[in-house]
Chain A
């Protein structure tokens, strides 16, 4: 949500918008974590899955963040549009 808002409303260059968004997610995710658990009661987490998912995702996030500077703004915009479009259609068709 943060990426399109920055680019479409605030004319932020795509590279900065993507990076800003990931930084802003850190406090948001930290705040959402206790809210989710307190409101939902018993935590529904598969720690085994989380562990292996994170083992891959931190390496992926590091590599992706380092590569970002090399991707032209236009191609980055197209990639964001494709991912948002696919996930958006999925949410509309199979909510």
Chain B
């Protein structure tokens, strides 16, 4: 086992941990780990990431189930809907240039991050109710 292999394990550990806590598919983190850290081409990184996501999500998902973190019904609906979405997405992805897809995806993520951040801040700045008099 080389140093590169050890670094891959450490990278996987970090990506897997964030996957388990934040709930994002490993791909969001696996792909940059491979392209930036290990100079793999985007195509190879994406293909490899798809392979790596499956065991990661299975281990994380079943641990969540055992920990009581999962709302079963919405998770099943999302999984079913996501399969249909994946098929449609794969067909659309072939027709639309990759850079356009990446920018739309990036805009969605930034907007979501902004609104989630706002929600977190509002949760801390909730006004304290005035004391009851009388």
Contact = CB atoms under 8 A, between A and B. Distances in A.
Interface of A: 1-4, 6-8, 10, 12, 15-33, 35-37, 39-40, 43-47, 49-50, 52-69, 71, 73-74, 76-85, 87-93, 95
Chain B contact residues, majority secondary structure: helix
A27 B83 contact: yes
Given A8-B115, A64-B19, A23 B70 contact: yes
A35 B116 CA distance: 32
Contact of B53 (A29, A59, A62, A92): A29
Classify chain B's interface size: 35 or more
A8 B51 CA distance: 30
Nearest to B19: A61
B9 A52 contact: yes
The 7 A-B residue pairs with the shortest CB-CB distance, nearest first, are A64-B20, A60-B16, A56-B12, A88-B109, A91-B106, A18-B23, A57-B16
